[in-house]
Amino acid sequence: MTELNKEILYNPFKHAIKNHQLQLGLWMDSATAVMAEIAATAGYDWLLFDGEHGPNTVQNIYGQLQAIEPYHSHAIVRPLEGTRANIKQLLDLGAQTLLVPMVESGEQAENIYKSMCYAPKGYRGVGASVARAGRWNRLPDYMEYCQENLCLLVQVESRKGVENLDDIVKTPGVDGVFFGPADLSTDMGYLGNANAPEVMETMEYCVRRTTELGKAAGTIASDVNVAKTFIQWGATFVAIGADILLYNEALDHCLAQFRK
């Protein structure tokens, strides 16, 4: 049986954020392999396939992972929620970096990490040998070395999460913390105003505290100046756009050139 080299699993994103190298990303909600591949040719460091709010299904995500495989862009997948079942299935698809939403405690972060680990460290189900993760058993020792290239990003987006930030950041297995300005601002009483001064102060505290504790901090900002501000504060992985929003802007700009 032909065996593949385990270097195929190397996770450049994980090693980049560990070494404090800025990674610029793009949010993907279009749920098509064609759009994913087009985005991958642009050279973003990472593409986030959103299974929480977008219409992405397991099959859609599978096709998008395949579509961007030859390119520089690294795939990050956000599950609907951080359950063992969701995590197990996405890892078996071949996703190596997960962004898990709505994390509010160190205990929750620990359970998520354990869902990514095989026993005795955790309780990930065994099945990668018949899935893309283990390249259909052409990586026969997959279970022994896969963990070193799996990357866990947890998403803090509530006041409770901010209150428990230190415990979350210090949780073994957490590689980075992503701060969701939309949900956080709403929870703080600023519906639709993620750039409110109090929200921005909280975001600055979160980014600086996370990096101070030795973990990578990330967020999303479609406004150029806001994104640059996050980077100045020390954010290591930042989404600087979203495919649907960029598509809308391009459509409007094109039509506006011909209509008064």
What domains appear along the chain, each with residue ranges and CATH number? 6-256 (3.20.20.60)
Q: Based on the residue annotation, tell me whether 53 is a catalytic residue of this protein.
A: yes
Report whether the peptide linkage leading into residue 120 is cis, meaning its omega lies within 30 degrees of zero. yes
Contact 117, 87 (CB under 8 A): no
Q: Positive or negative CA dihedral for 55, 53, 31, 79?
A: negative
CB within 8 Å of 104: residues ≥ 6 apart:
156, 158, 160, 161, 164, 168
pLDDT tens, position by position, for the chain (260 residues)? Answer: 788 899 999 999 999 999 999 999 999 999 999 999 999 999 999 999 999 998 999 999 999 999 999 999 999 999 999 999 999 999 999 999 999 999 999 999 999 999 999 999 999 999 988 999 999 999 999 999 999 999 999 999 999 999 999 999 999 999 999 999 999 999 999 999 999 999 999 999 999 999 999 999 999 998 999 999 999 999 999 999 999 999 999 999 999 999 97
Half-sphere exposure in the Cβ direction for 213 (13 Å, CA):
20
Marked catalytic residue, from 15, 53, 74, 253: 53
